[in-house]
Homo-oligomer: A and B are copies of this chain.
């Protein structure tokens, strides 16, 4: 595949994609948010090859998106849990999920119904908002000119 490396890119989206932008990583993070923690469970739920899963988990751990935790007294049983950094991908994943539900709905599947544990009310669509919480489209924003180079 000869993938280009973006580690040093000036664009933080490119750098973010370097960590979770490959095919499987974001799906692994998603599964982790659904509660999956064990190697075999990721493998079965995602239908991913073991060597690829191995590689992705290791990279996600390297990048501090997941933490690898020994469970069972003598080691050799592990869990992969989301770190704070990994958990903060929540808006990304949910925004992507909502976008997919809206624009590529599966006929036999209703859109994600995610609810607040306390109130049991559904979440809103993820939006880019101004300081007052009003939704903004891409056309309603701008990047102010700054002295240093922008990404």
- Taking a contact as CB atoms under 8 Å apart, the answer to whether B104 and A16 are in contact is yes
- Determine if A76 is an interface residue (Cβ-Cβ < 8 Å): no
Residues of A that sit less than 8 Å from B by CB: 1, 3-4, 10-17, 19, 21-23, 26-27, 30, 33, 47, 64, 82, 85, 87-97, 99-106, 108-131, 133, 136-144, 146, 148-151
Distance to closest chain B CB from A34 (angstroms): 8
In the complex, the chain B residue whose C-beta lies closest to that of A16 is B100
Tallying the copies of this chain within the complex gives 2
Question: How far apart are the CA atoms of A90 and B99 in the complex, in Å?
Answer: 10
In the complex, the chain B residue whose C-beta lies closest to that of A134 is B116
- Taking a contact as CB atoms under 8 Å apart, the answer to whether B131 and A121 are in contact is yes
- Taking a contact as CB atoms under 8 Å apart, the answer to whether B12 and A104 are in contact is yes
Question: How far apart are the CA atoms of A13 and B111 in the complex, in Å?
Answer: 11
Distance to closest chain B CB from A85 (angstroms): 5
In the complex, the chain B residue whose C-beta lies closest to that of A8 is B106
Contact of A16 among B10, B82, B97, B146 (CB under 8 A): B97
State whether A110 and B148 are in contact (beta carbons under 8 Å apart), knowing that A85-B103, A124-B129 are contacts in the complex.
yes
- Taking a contact as CB atoms under 8 Å apart, the answer to whether A137 and B90 are in contact is yes
Distance to closest chain B CB from A129 (angstroms): 5
- Taking a contact as CB atoms under 8 Å apart, the answer to whether A91 and B128 are in contact is yes
State whether A17 and B12 are in contact (beta carbons under 8 Å apart), knowing that A123-B128, A140-B116, A142-B117 are contacts in the complex.
no
State whether A100 and B15 are in contact (beta carbons under 8 Å apart), knowing that A91-B127, A130-B116 are contacts in the complex.
yes
